[in-house]
Amino acid sequence: MEGREIGWAMVEGIIAGLKPSVKEEAIDFDKIFVRYNVLEEEKKLGLKPEELVKDIMPKDEPWKTIAYAVFKGDAKTALEETKKALEKFPPKEIVDKGLAPGMHAVSKLYDDGIYYLPQVMLSADAMSAAVQFIEQKVGAGKVEKKGKVVMHVAEGDIHDLGKNLAKVFLVADGWEVIDLGRDVPVDEVVKAVEKHKPVMVTGTALMTTTMTAFPKIAKKLIEKGIKIPFICGGGAVNEDFVNTFELGVIAKKAHQAPKFAEAAKKGISWSDLRAKWHEIAPA
């Protein structure tokens, strides 16, 4: 690359004559900004992800192979090994001893700031493929789930990325998600909650004109005597707003979802969750 100035770039011939009006050499870019992500990563360079989760991963076969397949996001191996295991072991054991530990390890590394979202997604896909296969074989409902969660995006709103992320974290953690989709009318949410009796219901809204559906949902749930936590996320939603209506608890990051569900299942009330989410489900 000799003689070619990088950046001011250079497809030979076309830009040969380009001379910026400001001299790049004169600028010390370190005095303008710092790429903190690069520095942060350097701090963690010595860490070996597999070492860090060694203790939660199974040591015996076939669990080890299954768990590592999920851990690496290798759906093909996860599925094949699950098929084989299903000939000898009950579904619950496969989930508890093989699939779940692999997923748990990935989530932990993500929570600890070592892994990145795509790694979680691919592991979750691998786990889902295996669980779906098991359900097909033994019938849905036979694979024990931690509990149910009803999720939706507010009426009039199609911004569903945040909800979808939170769903991945929940499914991966072993929850049954009733996903009502996006642009969901208030009454449909209320009906689904009545029908499925989840441990909690979640809502996502990214527009100030759509988040107004949340207090309406909360009011109707209370009228029906349902007092489960209503976890509210999405760009437009802030804590002040969520605290104006009963049941509402603010969520800032998708990975909080399983912790909220865990707490709700334990019977922690919405008001306690609202007061203590910083400790119970830190963002």
Partner 1 sequence: MVVRRYTSMAYKNPDDIVFGKAVYPVYERFGVPIGAGFVVPEIKVAPKPGSEKDLETFVKHHKEFTEEILKLCLQLGFNYIMIEQEHVFQQTYNPNYAYETAHAQVELAEKYYNEYGIGVTIRHTIGDIRKAEAEGGLRESDLTKRMFESFEQAAAAGVGDLAIETLGGKEVVDYAVARGDIKGVLFGIGVCGSEDMAWTWPQIVKIANKYGTIPAGDTNCSGANTVMFLAGGLMDREVSHTMAALARAIAGARSLVAVEAGARGPLKDCGYENPIIKAITGVPVCIECTSICACAHIDVMGNLNRAIGDVYSNESVEYHQEFGGSTAEVWTAVTGNAAALSNTALQAKQEKILRDLLTYSDMYRDPQGLILSYPNAYRIGKVITQYGKDPYLRAKYAAIEAGNIILEAAEAKKLKLSRWELETLNKAMETLKALPDDADKFIDDCLKEYANVPYFNPKNYGW
By the 8 A CB rule, do 215 and 244 touch? Answer: yes
| Residue 232 identity (one-letter amino acid) | C
Nearer to ligand B12 among residue 128 and residue 202 (C-beta): 202
| Distance of alpha carbon 64 from alpha carbon 97, whole angstroms | 9
Nearest CA-CA partner of 103 in 81, 136, 70: 70
Helix, strand or coil for residue 4? coil
For residue 260, the surrounding DSSP H or E stretch is helix 257-265
Site map 151..180 versus partner 1, x via CB under 8 A? -----x-x-xx--xx--x------------
Site map 130..169 versus ligand B12, x via CB under 6 A? --------------------------xxxxxxxx-xx---
Among 3, 118, 225, 267, the residue binding partner 1 under the rule CB under 8 A is 118
| HSE, side-chain direction, 13 A CA sphere, residue 196 | 21
Site map 198..217 versus ligand B12, x via CB under 6 A? ----x-x-xxxx--------
For residue 198, whether the previous peptide bond is cis, meaning omega lies within 30 degrees of 0, is no
Nearest CA-CA partner of 264 in 179, 181, 175, 185: 175
Picked from partner 1, ligand B12, none, the partner binding residue 202 (CB below 5 to 8 A depending on kind) is ligand B12
Nearer to partner 1 among residue 10 and residue 52 (C-beta): 10
Phi/psi class of residue 268: alpha, beta or left (left: φ > 0; alpha: ψ in -120 to 50)?
beta
| Distance of alpha carbon 223 from alpha carbon 269, whole angstroms | 17
Site map 70..89 versus ligand B12, x via CB under 6 A? --------------------
Rule CB under 6 A: which residues touch ligand B12?
A: 156-163, 165-166, 202, 204, 206-209, 231, 233-236, 251-254, 256-257
Rule CB under 8 A: which residues touch partner 1?
A: 1, 6-11, 14-15, 17-22, 24, 27, 29, 32-33, 35-38, 40-41, 45, 110, 113, 115-118, 121-122, 125, 156, 158, 160-161, 164-165, 168, 183, 207-209, 212
